[in-house]
Amino acid sequence: MGFLHLFIVNKSGGLILHRPLGPNAPRIGTNEWLRIGSTFHSLHAIAAEAGPTKLPGNKNSSGADDGIEQIEGGGIVLKCLQTRTGIKFVLTAEPGTPDLDAVLREIYVLYSDCALKDPFYELEMPIRCELFTNAVDNLIERVEAGGLKSR
């Protein structure tokens, strides 16, 4: 069990962050990550439109547009949190990794606290904030050491 990758996609489908989170994470080149981010964005939009049932107002429990929330495959789980502003936080992990929802929500809080408050960060642009990346690394270490506990 363990976390593999974190990637964040902006509302227009551009990849703004990708990070391997564990030693078992496959090494993927930057061009492939850009393709993965835009492909996931497109699949998320198609799933929201093609779903057999619609949520009230086409919104999920967090108020964001309906779409892909989780994909499980052979040896991998992909979990997505879409914010009300359209940013998608996507976490991949090995099956059986606990607290994926809570970790995604905590990463969103870290993004709000670290990246958005950085005076040099521009919305929709790649995240180059050392405070955010260090905070994500610390969060993953905390979770892997003994579960998610409040700060």
Phi-psi group of 3: left, alpha or beta (phi > 0 → left; psi -120 to 50 → alpha; rest → beta): beta
Tokens of 61: 């429990």
61 vs 12 pLDDT, higher one? 12
- Cross-strand pairs, 81: 89
> Are 70 and 44 within 8 A, CB to CB?
no
Contact 132, 120 (CB under 8 A): no
Distance, CA of 138 to CA of 148 (rounded, Å): 11
The CA-CA-CA angle for residues 114, 2, 26, to 5°, reads 85
State pLDDT tens for residues 4-33: 999 999 988 889 999 999 888 888 888 888
What number of helices (H) and strands (E) belong to the chain? 3, 5
What pLDDT, on a 0 to 100 scale, did the predictor assign at position 84?
Answer: 85
The pLDDT value recorded for residue 38 is 85
Share of the chain above pLDDT 70, in %: 87
pLDDT at 136 over 90: yes
10 neighbors 90 (Cβ within 8 angstroms): no
3-state SS string over 20-58? ECCCCCCCCCHHHHHHHHHHHHHHHHHHHHHCCCCCHHH
C-alpha–C-alpha distance, residues 34 and 50, integer Å: 24
pTM given for the model: 0.84
